[in-house]
Chains A and B, each alone.
Chain A
Amino acid sequence: MYNQTEIIKDTTDLGPEGELVINMGPQHPATHGVLHLVVTLNGETIKKIEPHLGYIHRSIEKMCESLTYRQFIYVTSRMDYLSSHINNLGCALLIEKGMQIEVPERAKYIRVILSELTRIASHELWLGAMAMDLGAFTPFFYTFREREMITEIMEETCGARLTMNYIVPGGVMYDIHPNFQKKVKAFIKQFKEKVTEFEDLVTNNVIFQSRTKGIGILSAEDAISFGCTGPVARASGVRCDIRKLYPYDVYDKVEFDEVIETAGDSFARYIVRVKEMNQSIRIIEQLIDSIPEGDFVGKTKNVLKLPKGEFYTRVETARGEFGVFIVSEGGTNPYRIKFRSPGFSNLSALNHMAAGSKIGDLMATMGTLDLVIPDIDR
């Protein structure tokens, strides 16, 4: 039993047969943020991993209790900053559901296109960073080349590159930039040409395959029991894509496949994300030419008041199921708000997945979980 803040020392006097306790993080390049793992080793084999959280805890749930329904949406951009657009969408959908606000078709199309662009950008960053964790430096530059195109589209239309804050209850904040469709098409063209480069560089790479295949296996039953969602659960064969199960906005009108792999190892998680990028491109292609004319935001009151009761919505972020649970007393701010973040549940499976493997394989397991620390700490 360790205290959270205590730096753990190896006090065993057993020599080479004893346990070794290593503090990985909070300043470790492979944790991509301030995650602190206390790893208990027996030789090179991992016996136990204890995550220590809270280095970037801002108590967003408490903060949101004193913000109005128009304001609190923007705080959620600071949780999972790589899917900030989708987080905003989840909150907006909840308010629209609670107040029965009509959203114009044009806004729905724009939201879905931007959500899918966000998903591609997030997976691109993950791909580069994960390959770098495993020692391959080049993919990082290749993925950031495409990701830069998306951030430029975001900057032009939303005014920001990372924390977009573009979605408001009832639609979107502004209309899209006149160049939007042209630039998105240019991006799709480039992405389709270059996606084979990732396959040559990473997917078919023998070193990469031998470092990820059969590493960090998670079975389907465990994935459900640990509450894993998103690519992590889909790589274990669990159907959990919210876009398919509970479609929101225009996801019920577009055709796309839910990517399912059954191996449950790190390589399967990698494959799921790469295939998901192609599915996102497919969704954007179906929508980009048919954005309907009309309003980009529906009519809403200036002061939003959610009726008394409890509301829950879920959306599919790049990491999995993001849920918003609001308890309303009928006032202008939420009485209690809970964010069910996908990273928090996915992290809880780490000990189960990595126990028994070598410490070098922990990088592959943790890399393919795709953890974003502010999303876990909230």
Chain B
Amino acid sequence: MSNEEIKEIISSTLPSATYDETGEWLNVIIDSKDWEKIAAECRNGALQMDFLFCLTCIDWKTHLTMVYHLTSTKHRHNIVVKANLDPAIAEIKSVCAIWRTAEFHEREVFEMFGVKFLNHPDLRKLILEDDFKGFPLRKDFEDPINMIKL
């Protein structure tokens, strides 16, 4: 499916979505509160995006950006969905029910960036210790002992 067709399908579900085609794949920028609707459309609609192969977050100092890389094992097209979050109240709907790989990846983003995933069945720390303070992958994180700076 070409980028134009993908855009058309997404725009029919969410007219407010904006697009960025400068990178390798089509980037879809959405509002964080629309994510659940778009995720369901991507997975079950005509796009058939059944494989969430990368889920991560970027700290831009002023805001956080959730990045979802999706591909379809049937049609072999890729898209990148992005949603901006406010670092003070970082909240987004969980997509565990749609792609089950999201369960582990969301737990990782939760502890590393402090993003709260609503409706996640088991939102606990996965890699870090329970008493760990702070969010290590945010840019303002400082560890006085273990930090390596070159």
Interface-centre pick from A59, A239, A352 (highest chain B CB count, 10 A): A59
Residues of chain B contacted by A239 (CB below 8 angstroms): 73
* Docked pose: A314 CA to B126 CA in angstroms: 25
CB nearest to B58 among chain A residues: A336
Interface segment, one of B10-18, B33-41, B46-54, B84-92: B46-54
Q: Is the interface of A mostly helix, strand, loop or mixed?
A: mixed
Q: How distant is A338 from chain B, measured CB to nearest CB, in Å?
A: 4
* Docked pose: A310 CA to B54 CA in angstroms: 13
8 Å CB interface, B1-31 against A: 22-25
Q: How distant is A76 from chain B, measured CB to nearest CB, in Å?
A: 16
CB nearest to A228 among chain B residues: B101
Residues of chain B contacted by A57 (CB below 8 angstroms): 127-128
Are B104 and A345 within 8 A (Cβ)?
A: yes
Are B129 and A4 within 8 A (Cβ)?
A: yes
Known contacts A226-B100, A312-B69; A336/B59 CB under 8 A: yes
Are B129 and A54 within 8 A (Cβ)?
A: yes
* Docked pose: A66 CA to B100 CA in angstroms: 33
Are A345 and B59 within 8 A (Cβ)?
A: no
> Which of the residues A54, A67, A344 comes within 8 Å of B104, measured between beta carbons?
A344
Are B125 and A4 within 8 A (Cβ)?
A: yes
Q: How distant is A81 from chain B, measured CB to nearest CB, in Å?
A: 18
Interface-centre pick from B22, B25, B53, B105 (highest chain A CB count, 10 A): B53
Are A347 and B73 within 8 A (Cβ)?
A: no
Interface segment, one of A24-32, A134-142, A160-168, A319-327: A319-327
Q: How distant is B78 from chain A, measured CB to nearest CB, in Å?
A: 9
8 Å CB interface, B105-150 against A: 105, 124-130, 136-137, 148-150
List residues of B whose CB falls within 8 A of some A CB: 22-25, 50-54, 56, 58-59, 67, 69, 73, 76, 80, 99-101, 103-105, 124-130, 136-137, 148-150
Task: With A63-B148, A227-B101, A335-B58 given, name 4 new contacts (CB 8 A).
Answer: A224-B51, A226-B101, A325-B56, A344-B104
